[in-house]
Structure 1
Amino acid sequence: MRLDADQMLAVLNALPDPVFLLTESGLYAGLFGHADPNYYHDGHDLVGSSVPEVVSPEAAEWIMQNIHKALEQDGLIKVEYQLSADQVAGLEGAVGPDGMIWFEGHVQPFPHRVNGERAVVWIARNITRRKLLEEELLQASQTDPLTHTANRRHLMEVLEEHFEEFRRYRHPMAMIMFDLDHFKQLNDRHGHLTGDAVLRSLCKACKSLLRANDLLARFGGEEFVIVLPSTTAAQAASTAERMRTHLSEAVARELGDELAVTVSLGVSELLHSDSNYEQVMHRVDQALYRAKRAGRNRVVVHDA
């Protein structure tokens, strides 16, 4: 059974994802497929326009590169990209999903010339739900469920990255390790649920003092580590001292004076003699131990 032209067009327009026919000069020569407004915006008005006319120069360059790549390789290529209706001229305010959409593009050479040009078929599939799920799973694998700080596994990954950067470019990196003083007594007196609330409050207060590129991680129990990129030990010591006074006040303010807590903090930084990041972790752990031995509620910096 052979389909006539009208039947073939009906088949193409019944496809669940939009199918673009794009020439090597960037002309939108055709658009087929069903534009479900839950997943896509209707882009039929783009036909007759060119890629540089409807998207930013950066996006246009990227699209054209992939068109030419598919033509040069004479085969299918797959790409993932983000795009919103607001970024496409003519689609502003069109019916469809809000915000940024993740797409998986399948780009393959078209076997016939269009207006005398080579062309590709570009199928755009909405994969936003999958990407959001992947992001949630990644976040869950890197996050401590109680305090919503980084977990120990993610901490080690970040330290490895910073150590490699330090070894190549000598960018400084400091570390603070701290724990809650007399946390066992707090749990025994007020219960573990109250202890959990104190840890959450402590982390919330700590984050308010940190920069966007600093990392707060739960190392274990009531012990936490802060990674401070582009920071020396002297600078980190100033941050640690601010934390020492602020954290106690913040927890008491949120949970009540009877739950006022203190913290002990150790500080160190990467040294040129370090062969791995475990060495700075050992020094900062020693500094914390000295702070606790000296009476707690204090900052100790490990001397280089």
Structure 2
Amino acid sequence: MLKNFSNVTQRLRRLSSQELDVSGTFQSFLIDLLDEGKLTLDVTRVSVWLFDDLDKPSELINVANTDWQGDELPVQLPALTYENFPAYFSAINSGQSIDANDAAADPRTSEFQECYLTPNHIMTMLDTVIFKNGIPHGVVCCEGNNGVRTWHKDEIAFAEMIADCCSRRLLVKELWQLQLQLTDMAFKDPLTGLSNRRFLMDNAKREISRHARFDHPFSMMMLDIDHFKKINDNHGHETGDLVLKSFAEICVNTLRLEDCMCRLGGEEFIVLLPNTPVNSAMVIAERLRQEIEQSVISTPSGEITITSSFGVAEVNTNLPFGHSLKAVDHAVYQAKAAGRNCVIPAQ
């Protein structure tokens, strides 16, 4: 029985209201709740197990555990299968809390006796269900090795509050992941995986402001795949898409980590080169031009080689980005007029 039930629930409410970084592991943003449960219920360990599939669960996967140190996770997360523990899975799917006073004798948990209870000296268990949209999503498992124990209704209620707090945090993490996906959709080109024009314009403004503030050189290049229309006409648009994806991979693997490559549209691409004077940008562009020229792209239609025309410019941080964009676009036009597959600096 919990002493001062009102006090411990108030402490849990305050704990669950704190802001957390949900970008990490389940362990990192659930462990404070589990530690609170372990301390308040005076048990050996508390852990969270989540179903692998909400519609047709076949496994429970251990995603957080008070036995684990910090954010360090096992190389392979422990898992329970429905095939080996059908009674336990059925009990969880019922949605009812499992108050196994004597875990070895309780039919809902006795399946664990030989493989887990006896080796780890676990004698009592209190498992409460984590719900998602009213459907069991997992379980908070509280285990004790201090003998058989009769779980009081206040202890069961507190453990259920722990499970509800976990449920809310899991929902916040899911919403955060959804937001990341929506952001990717808004700012990434779905074909190549590169950032898109919208991201380019937003990022360019930030980079211009940063480089102007510190008076650092800032350059950019535009790339246009030569005769790309012929690839689509001769081999089809599916092959053309494959060439665009391969082209993007070649460029990203050749450029520096700090460089930002975006798909402007069609077969046109922009690369922002932070902290780079225009003479260095010309060297980078020439190295990339050679890498593209020497690469062979394998497609269902056969091996394809491509070239690209480049325009390079130093970004004028005193003017809107569109001014530099027009300059580098004109340089690409000059590269095309000069016979393609070359690098031309903006005038």
Tell me the TM-score normalized by structure 2: 0.55
| Displaced runs of 4 or more, over 6 A | 15-18, 95-98
1:134 equivalenced with 2:117 (yes/no): no
CA contact (8 A) 1:166 1:172 kept: yes
Shift of 1:129: 2.7
One-letter amino acid of the structure 1 residue matched with residue 70 of structure 2: Q
Letter in 2 for 1:87: G
**Residues 150 and 92 of structure 1, relative CA distance in 2, 3 Å threshold:** closer
Residue 336 of structure 2 aligns with an amino acid whose one-letter code is K
Partner of 1:259: 304
Q: Please say if 1:31 is aligned against 2:40.
A: no
Partner of 1:194: 239
1:8 aligns with 2:53: no
Structure 2 partner of 1:291: 335
- Alignment check: 8 A CA contact 1:38 1:97 kept: no
Gaps of 5+ in 2: 18-32, 51-62, 80-164
Aligned-pair CA distance for 1:261: 1.1
- Paired position in structure 1 for 2:325: 281
Report matched runs for 1:68-107 at 5 Å: 86-87=69-70
Q: d(CA) in 1 for partners of 2:69 and 2:187?
A: 32
Aligned to 2:86: none
User: What is the alpha-carbon distance in structure 2 between the residues aligned to residue 180 and residue 92 of structure 1?
Assistant: 46
Which amino acid letter does the alignment assign opposite residue 297 of structure 1? N
- Which position in structure 2 is the counterpart of 1:79? none
Aligned residues of 2:219 and 2:281 also touching (Cα < 8 A):
yes
Unaligned ranges ≥5, structure 1: 21-27, 46-84, 99-122
User: Identity, % of aligned pairs?
Assistant: 32
CA contact (8 A) 2:297 2:304 kept: no
Aligned 8 A contact 2:312 2:331 in 1: yes
* TM-score, reference length from structure 1: 0.63
Which residue does the alignment assign to 1:113?
none
Q: 1:72 — aligned with what?
A: none
Cα displacement (A) at 1:158: 0.9
CA deviation after TM superposition for structure 1 residue 280, in Å: 1.2
Gap change, CA 1:19 and 1:192, over 3 Å in 2: closer
User: 1:235 aligned to 2:280?
Assistant: yes
Counterpart residue type for residue 302 of structure 1: A
For 1:42 and 1:128, how far apart are their aligned partners in 2? Answer: 18
One-letter amino acid of the structure 1 residue matched with residue 269 of structure 2: F
CA drift of 1:220 comes to 0.7
Displacement of 1:244 = 1.1
Whichever of the two has the greater Rg, that structure is: 2
The verdict on how the C-alpha distance between 1:152 and 1:6 changes in structure 2, with shifts beyond 3 A counting, is same
Separation of aligned partners in 1, 2:286 and 2:212: 28
Match of 2:293 among 248, 266, 275: 248
Equivalent residues of 2:246, 2:297 under 8 A apart: no
The alpha-carbon distance between structure 1 residues 223 and 42, as it changes in their structure 2 partners (threshold 3 A), is closer
Match of 2:222 among 177, 199, 204: 177
